[in-house]
Structure 1
């Protein structure tokens, strides 16, 4: 998720011709940026980073080109996941098994020059700086500001490697350093949600029934370090999945959702909302403050397992079942994403059907259903992945079986292109200037 700003673009024919020429060559020069008629705005759709299945290779596709010409970067290891930096400029290539992250400059970014916002577009490039740490697994972004990397640690290594958190921004990535860090006292599969100077980090009680966290610890940033404030009292067994939006942070629990309301710079209030099953994933959007989608599974093998969805209204304190049209028993979610406006939610099931929900007033309603958007679903990972364009009404959906990338018009809810990639796509993420 990223912060969205109103567009200032005024396309110019000469600028577009230059853009198309550079895109066809795989990107522009590192020494010269492109501009539109105003001299500081660029009409660009940004770029899409795509990882190849099982390969230490990352491709950066220029979305302004009529075809998907690509710049390729060789990584140290196949990425376990791809993320975008808070300002939208950098690709974070997490390599869990390599205990590190590598960074690619997507080459499209915006700077605040006081009296105007200045856009830049240059060639994508790899950064030499790498962030190391044991098992980087969870990446939580505060849009436009900062991102917390939670490293699970490694209980099987000798010596044991403890969990840790590292805080980054676009500026710190460019400088090759972290903003702040926190080292925990044990390995744990966890998360860290950054909200301004506050950091919510997992804690596991001694009487926990499994290896997962049970509580959140509140920390306050002091320069490059964090000071522990207090352990939040609300218990959340089986803690997994989180999101922050508006004044709230939501975390998944075995019996519902742990809510943290951010009162001011230092004060929070924690509470619990009940749900009929475990919430293991949370989705939110900066344009839907205090609204979340909770995702969980009902049933257990060898019987049918069904993905369930819940609309969570943090301000009202409610958790309501969200029932996508024709979502039958035994259907599993394979991918999901909001569009750039946050008003449409795209859900892909295990048959390849795409269901779209529309935000209408204070509720989600059915908008469209696209059967066989993915004609043949994989039987194992990598599953299809989704990424929304922050600059235009497009969403990208990978098709691993067909080695294709689907382009969807999110305003019309239609597939506008199926582009052959020539390789099996895995993770993907969008970089650019959000509008």
Structure 2
């Protein structure tokens, strides 16, 4: 991987193209530093939204307290995806086809000071850090770190790899550690203490999807492969972890791996005979605290019980509902949120074993030509729904829905940026 510190001019702050008074750029946003003590908890701000429009290299920063765009930044290329850094300070702008990842400082973050944190509310800023490696694709945050997986490219004879970053390392313009393969692959990985469980593709395979899982141990700024797990995972795509298990989705089931100190053991959960032919789980969502996770596929939704080794259909639909339009996990990672094709938000609580606990309407009239996306606010019980060209704010406490902004050019990618306090988990 090549890492290069560019002059901040790479990300040029520009006026928003929207042009209305509502979209005025605030160049003199004040710096607000709020100290706290153990006796005085911090009141966390609503945060900011970073979004981009289709075929545009601009990323706009919308302040949720001021209800307006306060700045815009030019990426080198249009973003294929936008994510938040692990602690929420930076927008991570993936540019897959151009093999580039750039970062924008959202300006809101907590700074640790011994037994307390200070809250910073600064103006958004360009960031000089970037990642240059071939086809960055999967972005997997775990706690205060995130794994960026680079697929490589068969035609260009470029090998795959992964890099570990954090908010601190982004601020210091460095990668914490990285690993390089000897072939390409559409892979993924899960950070687990000083280890990464990541995919391995056979160099002789005709598929870009891997079928083997390896254990990689951190050694300073790189990894050594310590183990190859015995259970194969054909056409591997999708991974997730709870406090007790790490799961990988295969065409014929799920490989689960259990950690006991530095000992990792694998097991295979086969797809049930009732699963339709050609259907496989390709993505997981859930809570780190619940060993039953939810598997998504093109042919349905399933629960995967990692304790009892059972995969079963998940009957999430209310009467009259046939499909979901968007899904996400709540900001506190305690619930799964699903927008159904009747225009209702469905809340499934992990404390209730994923039973439906709340359902209310957010869209009155659906348009099949409009796409939908859900993004959670990690500081408050709020989510944001992108539906067509409009962003709506959904407040779960009072079940209200408010329009935030409509963008004529459309919204291709959206992520929430801000400060939040997350409960620590021990593996």
Residue number in structure 2 paired with 1:184 = 181
Q: Distance in 2 between matches of 1:63 and 1:270?
A: 44
The secondary structure found in structure 2 opposite 1:172 is helix
Taking structure 1 as the reference length, what is the TM-score of the superposition? 0.83
* Comparing 277-286 and 367-376, the one that deviates more: 367-376
Instruction: Give the direction of change, closer, same or farther, for the CA distance of 1:176–1:395 in structure 2 (3 Å limit).
Output: same
Residue number in structure 1 paired with 2:373 = 385
Residue number in structure 2 paired with 1:322 = 314
The secondary structure found in structure 2 opposite 1:69 is strand
Instruction: Give the direction of change, closer, same or farther, for the CA distance of 1:348–1:115 in structure 2 (3 Å limit).
Output: same
Residue number in structure 2 paired with 1:270 = 266
* Comparing 244-253 and 348-357, the one that deviates more: 348-357
1:397 is aligned, of 382, 385, 389, to 385
C-alpha contact 1:248 1:261 (8 A) present in aligned 2 = yes
Q: Distance in 2 between matches of 1:53 and 1:192?
A: 29
C-alpha contact 1:46 1:108 (8 A) present in aligned 2 = yes
Q: Distance in 2 between matches of 1:389 and 1:205?
A: 40
* Comparing 406-415 and 182-191, the one that deviates more: 406-415
C-alpha contact 1:346 1:357 (8 A) present in aligned 2 = yes
Q: Distance in 2 between matches of 1:27 and 1:285?
A: 39
Is residue 109 of structure 2 the alignment partner of residue 109 of structure 1? yes
Instruction: Give the direction of change, closer, same or farther, for the CA distance of 1:297–1:64 in structure 2 (3 Å limit).
Output: same
Q: Deviation per CA, 1:53-92, whole angstroms, max 9, x where unpaired?
A: 1110111111112x23331111111111111111111110
The secondary structure found in structure 2 opposite 1:340 is coil
Residue number in structure 1 paired with 2:424 = none
Aligned residues: 391
The secondary structure found in structure 1 opposite 2:393 is strand
C-alpha contact 1:352 1:376 (8 A) present in aligned 2 = no
C-alpha contact 2:84 2:91 (8 A) present in aligned 1 = yes
Report matched runs for 1:20-59 at 5 Å.
Answer: 26=26, 29=29, 32-35=31-34, 41-59=42-60
* Comparing 43-52 and 411-420, the one that deviates more: 411-420
The Cα shift of 1:168 comes to: 0.7
Is residue 83 of structure 2 the alignment partner of residue 92 of structure 1? no
Is residue 337 of structure 2 the alignment partner of residue 346 of structure 1? yes
Residue number in structure 2 paired with 1:217 = 214
Unpaired runs of 5+ in structure 1?
1-22, 299-307
Residue number in structure 2 paired with 1:146 = 145
Q: Distance in 2 between matches of 1:36 and 1:24?
A: 30
Q: Distance in 1 between matches of 2:215 and 2:399?
A: 41
The Cα shift of 1:427 comes to: 1.3
Is residue 282 of structure 2 the alignment partner of residue 280 of structure 1? yes
The Cα shift of 1:326 comes to: 3.5
Q: Deviation per CA, 1:103-156, whole angstroms, max 9, x where unpaired?
A: 01111111221121221110111112211000000111112x211110000111
* Comparing 43-52 and 313-322, the one that deviates more: 313-322
Residue number in structure 2 paired with 1:77 = 77
The Cα shift of 1:323 comes to: 1.3
Q: Distance in 2 between matches of 1:345 and 1:136?
A: 27
Unpaired runs of 5+ in structure 2?
1-22, 422-427
2:403 is aligned, of 407, 417, 421, to 417
Taking structure 2 as the reference length, what is the TM-score of the superposition? 0.84
